[in-house]
Amino acid sequence: MNQKNAKVFALGHFIFPIVLLLLFISQKQYVLLALAVLSLAFTVFLVHRAHIVGDLSQLLRMPSLAVIVFVDMAMITMVYVLPDWHPGVSPTWLLLFLLPLYASELGRRTALVICALAVGEILLLTIVQGGYFFSLNTVMNLLGMIVMIVLVGRTSDNLVKMAYYDSLTGMPNREMFKDRLTSSLNKRSIRNKGLAVLFLDLDQFKHVNDTMGHETGDLLLKTVAERIRSNIDKDVMLARLGGDEFALLVQNVSNADDANQVCSAVFECLKEGILLGPHEIYTTTSIGIALYPTHGTTPEMLMKNAEAAMYRAKQQGRNNFQYYLAPEKTEAQIERFAMEAMLRKALEKDELLVYYQPRINTKSERVVCVEALVRWQHPSLGVIPPKDFIPLAEETGLIVQLGEQVLRKACVQIKQWQDAGMEDLSVSVNLSPLQFRQQHLPGVIGRILRQAGLLPQYLELEITESAAMQNVNRNILMLRELKEMGVKISIDDFGTGYSSLSYLKKFPIDALKVDRSFISGIHEDPDDAAIVNAIIVLAKTLKLKVTAEGVETEEQYIYLQQHKCDEAQGYLFGKPMPPETFEEWYKLNMTEKDLILSPEY
């Protein structure tokens, strides 16, 4: 049944208390007022079940339907029998209000039943109130009923057929299957009986369509549906969900053997070849089974789990059935879910902190930039390292929200420092690959800069080499748009990816950052030294700046100075620091003649 029609069915009943109230006003019989109140109470009940509870569609089926019909006909009977109708007044037309409601909701069959009951009601009226049954009034009422059945009932049947039945096989479709499953679950929750949902998928059906054509494929689907239908019990519902997917609803399942028998019947009926024109086709099916309540208590859960079991049957070699197996939740998975929930909460409450690590110009030995690095100070777990939550943020997509928060805080902080006297200080912020793929990224960055009041030239965006080389042409356009805004662009972790020099030349970038893995071995490994030298020469050729990451010793720093590396960053100068600590570090270095090479902070 269609829930929208069920609501109309309920609302349509309001006409009875309204008509009875009008009859009371004209006839002045208080019995009509009492009947109007009873009719209103029943209508309110129907409206409540349709609009509030939402189960009137299920109630409009046997045996509940019989109760609703009984109440409606009892109400008509009392209207006919209890009042003292004046000669010439015949309320038989009341039936014409009731009939279209049933015809539109339940189709011609139910409408014919109502029509037969209505004839009995008219006969009862003529017996109790007096009159002649074979009158013009009776004939007109019967003609009106026939018109209602033909027009409204037939239209309703056609709409139901289109909405709830598969046009190819004539079987119930997904909507009707889900509707019937919902109804069965509502009854089963009371009776505490089991049922099974079987999800069937024909093996290698796509091969039939591709090699023999869709017409042959359609004939195969119809033949398979007919075979299955004729080889299973009548109380098992078969539906075509779409494509080569079918579903079976098995009622009154006491144990797994009941579902196993249905699967065996399906496999047995598909053993013989199917003759389609000049072709004889052998087909098999993979079946997934979900049991109520073991594998789910809602229609959506049972259908989803049965489908998951079907895919497992495919993986097991096809032409077999598998029961749904819930994925095992390992300790690591449970910890991951908990960490994700905590991270979402931290983002919602803006609890993440931004630390700043200085970047030194190797010529002037002064701070020219700070890199903004996110830190998570959990109220109970303490400091959570980035390696423990950044990969999770990237996997869940939270990295976009996290990245925007870091960018916003960094821009606001740099503007505050500039206003406090650190005039030439700029900030670099890492962009995750997912952030970099966001089409609206330039708009987000522009808005953050405007809100912070920071000029674009004081913001540097770092993207990894691997992210830059994905969808290169699109990335070039994105980088150009960012460059036109005035921000600086650098390639982070350079040397660890697989950059094409031809593309690197096209990228509108300002700097390369040499990965720390090369810097750490610069004095011990000739290959690392050669790579660093090559990157510096390449950058100079392309008129790009070079920043070395992970500088931890004076020897590394002096080596980089000697080879004309523009900037250096690492623990030799300072670890990532909270804003207050960085301010102290900055003031100390600005007042000293020589750069303080100390990892004190």
Residue 51: per-residue pLDDT:
83
The predicted model gives 564-572 an average pLDDT of 92
pTM for this prediction = 0.51
Return the C-alpha torsion angle 242, 245, 250, 254, nearest 10. -140
Q: Give me the DSSP letters along 560-595.
A: HHHTT--EE-STTT---B-HHHHHHHHHHHHHSSS-
Residue 274 pLDDT: 87
Residue 19: CB atoms within 10 Å: 18
Minimal CA–CA distance to 237: which of 192, 176, 308, 188? 176
Q: Which of 71-75, 179-183, 556-560 has the highest mean pLDDT?
A: 556-560
- Tell which residue, 501, 439, 443, has the closest CA to residue 475: 439
* Percent of the chain scoring above 70 in pLDDT: 84
Which of 73-82, 192-201, 443-452, 580-589 shows the lowest per-residue confidence on average (mean pLDDT)? 73-82
Residue scoring higher pLDDT (474 or 305):
305
DSSP 394-419: HHHTTHHHHHHHHHHHHHHHHHHHHH
Distance CA 574, CA 596 (A): 9
Question: What is the average per-residue pLDDT within 553-576?
Answer: 91
pLDDT greater than 90 at residue 255: no
Name the least confident of 9-13, 112-116, 161-165, 464-468: 161-165
Lowest mean pLDDT among 72-81, 283-292, 507-516: 72-81
pLDDT at 469 over 90: no
According to the model, what pLDDT value does residue 132 have? 63
pLDDT at 4 over 60: no
Distance CA 63, CA 187 (A): 12
Instruction: Give the separation between CA 491 and CA 497, rounded to whole angstroms.
Output: 11
Of the two residues 198 and 134, the one the predictor is more confident about is 198
329 pLDDT more than 60: no
- Burial level of 363, CB count in 10 A (0-12/13-18/19+)? exposed
Number of neighbouring beta carbons within 10 Å of residue 262: 22
In the predicted model, what is the mean pLDDT of residues 520-542?
Answer: 87
Q: Does the pLDDT of residue 1 top 70, yes or no?
A: no
**pLDDT tens digits, one per residue of 413-451:** 999 999 998 888 999 999 998 888 888 899 999 999 999
DSSP state of 278: T
* Residues 249-265, mean pLDDT to the nearest whole number: 89
Provide the pairing of β-strand 285-292 with 511-514: unpaired
Give CA torsion, residues 253, 258, 260, 266, to 10 deg.
Answer: -100
Position 262 scores a pLDDT of 93
Residue appearing with tokens 């950058």: 539
CA 448 and chain centroid, separation = 30
386-396 and 399-419 helices, crossing angle to 10°: 120
Residue type, 211: T
The CA distance from 352 to 339, in Å, is 14
Of 442, 440, 496, 506, nearest in space to 467 by CA? 496
Per residue in 118-166, pLDDT (tens digit) is 777 777 767 766 666 666 666 666 666 666 666 655 555 555 556 678 8
DSSP state of 297: S
C-alpha dihedral over 563, 564, 565, 569, to 10 degrees? 90
Using pLDDT thresholds of 50, 70 and 90, give the confidence band for residue 89.
low
Question: Tell me, what's the pLDDT at 600?
Answer: 47
Domains in the chain with CATH codes: 4-164 (no CATH), 174-325 (3.30.70.270), 337-591 (3.20.20.450)
Q: What is the mean pLDDT of the segment spanning 546-565?
A: 91
pLDDT of residue 160: 54
Q: Find out whether 133 and 126 touch, Cβ atoms under 8 Å.
A: yes
How far is the C-alpha of 55 from the C-alpha of 65, rounded, in Å? 12
For all residues of the chain together, what is the average pLDDT? 83
Higher pLDDT, 39 or 379: 39
What are the phi and psi torsion angles at 271 (to 5°)? -65, -40
Beta strands in 254-309 (DSSP E): 274-276, 279-281, 285-292
Half-sphere exposure of 427 (CA within 13 A, CB side): 29
